Structure 1
Amino acid sequence: MVTIDRATEADAETISALLGEIEAYYGGENVPGDLAQVRAALFSARPAATVLLARDGENVVGMASYTFLWPASGADTSLYLKELYVREDARRHGVARALMDALRDEATSAGCSRVEWTADRDNPTALAFYEAMGAEENQGKVFYRSER
């Protein structure tokens, strides 16, 4: 039975390890994220994001990180999913769906008008998952990135 809860500072090392796994998933090295950066980004006086963790008993099997965007439509706020990740041995067991359901609940509790996210076009598994959930690709946006 998978449970979903908000990460606390006690989870920082686990989140750091998950960040390394995510980096490896996208072709980089499996090096844990900088623990000080994780703590500052998630548990400082002004957190940049919130993380939900999926747990199977004591084992963390997945995570979702999100933030809020404003304005979304008019003066509405949206919940923006930045990262959805399920550990390999837990995939195809409903963990991602449980995380997405929890994100919807978080959005509803925060009064958001929608949940938004991006996905890599070269990740057909993710794209099929989102499509199976009833999500539709938004053709109206172009994604930009500027390195500082």
Structure 2
Amino acid sequence: MRISKAAEADIGELSVMLGEIEAYYGGDAAPADAEQIRRALFGERPAATVLLARDGDSVLGLASYSYLWPAAGADTSLYLKELYVRESARRRGVARALMAELRHAAAAAGCSRIEWTADSDNPAALAFYKALGVEPKDGKIFYRSAL
């Protein structure tokens, strides 16, 4: 398995995977709009970076992240927005390898920490993060406002 940053050539695969993620959360499994992906990841002002875990030509999973400032004081943090492993690749160390690569990316960027959220009704994700030795943080409530 190798992990690398997604490139424009991966837009088709990312489109399909975003549909898989939507289906996982109970939504429509239709592929995501390729032009939206292009603008978000490879446009003038990229909104995120995506790491892809591959086995040969097969994409096994992804991690999407961006940077937040301020984190603590004037520090920067890496914010993991999405960690997804295809069903056929689960329990093979893909998520752990993606998390390790995120730690390298955060350290290389001078971040003081990695932050993320997890759905409280996703026991597999919660168990995975606990197995990494990371405990949930109390004291924050997540908000979302549609535009």
Map 1:29-108; keep pairs closer than 5 Å: 29-108=28-107
Once the two structures are TM-superposed, the CA of residue 136 in structure 1 deviates from its matched residue by 1.0
Residue 18 of structure 2 is aligned to residue 19 of structure 1 = yes
The percentage of counterpart residues that share the same residue type is: 67
Counterpart amino acid of 1:117?
Answer: W
1:78-116 deviation digits (Å, cap 9, x = unpaired): 000000000000000000000000000000000000000
TM-score if structure 2 supplies the norm length? 0.99
CA separation in 2, counterparts of 1:140 and 1:107? 24
TM-score, normalized by length of structure 1? 0.98
Residue 49 of structure 1: how far off its partner (Å) = 0.2
Task: Give distance in 1, aligned partners of 2:43 and 2:145.
Answer: 26
Q: Distance in 1 between matches of 2:44 and 2:28?
A: 30
The alignment yields a C-alpha RMSD, in angstroms, of: 0.5
**In structure 2, what is the equivalent of residue 120 of structure 1?**
119
Q: Distance in 1 between matches of 2:82 and 2:93?
A: 17
1:35-57: CA deviation from partner (whole Å, max 9, x where unpaired): 00000000012100000000011
Q: Secondary structure at the match of 2:47?
A: coil
In structure 2, give the amino acid aligned to 1:81: L
| Structure 2 match to 1:137 | 136
Structure 1: unaligned runs, 5 residues or longer: none
Question: Partners in 2 of 1:109 and 1:45 — Cα distance?
Answer: 23
Q: CA deviation at 1:29?
A: 1.4
The alignment covers a number of residue pairs equal to 147
- Any idea what SS the aligned residue of 1:67 has? strand
Q: Which runs of 5+ in 2 are unaligned?
A: none
Q: CA deviation at 1:70?
A: 0.2
Aligned to 1:107, the other structure's residue is in SS state helix
Output the CA distance in 2 between the equivalents of 1:31 and 1:72. Answer: 35
